[in-house]
Amino acid sequence: MHKTSLSSDYQVAIPEKLCHQLALGAGQNFTLIAKGNILILVPTPDLAAMRGMMKGANGGNYRDRRIMSHEWTIDN
């Protein structure tokens, strides 16, 4: 377990060992999530790094598609 503290400027330093373990670098952006008295830092991926991630994905059967009347019926 690693510990850190909050500076007078409200900054948190992440220990170097964790930065190497999680491949974090200077300028890394985070999303902060507060759950009760717990603070979760989630690294926000760079959009350029995500380019091509979904290459070849089939978008034809997506979740929010419109239901056609002939696909859905109610039996009485």
29 domain-assigned: yes
* Predicted local confidence at residue 46, as pLDDT: 76
Q: Domain range spanning residue 11?
A: 1-46
pLDDT, tens digit, for every residue of 12-27?
999 999 999 998 989 8
Structurally, how many domains does the chain consist of?
1
Report residue 32: phi and psi, to 5°.
Answer: -100, 130
Report residue 13: phi and psi, to 5°.
Answer: -95, 130
Our CA angle for 18, 21, 22, nearest 5°, is 85
28 domain-assigned: yes
Residue 39, domain CATH? 2.10.260
Helix and strand totals (H; E) in the chain: 2, 2
Compute how many other C-beta atoms are within 10 angstroms of the C-beta atom of residue 4: 11
59 domain-assigned: no
pTM attached to this predicted model: 0.55
pLDDT, tens digit, for every residue of 11-66?
999 999 999 999 898 989 999 999 999 999 999 877 777 777 777 777 666 666 56
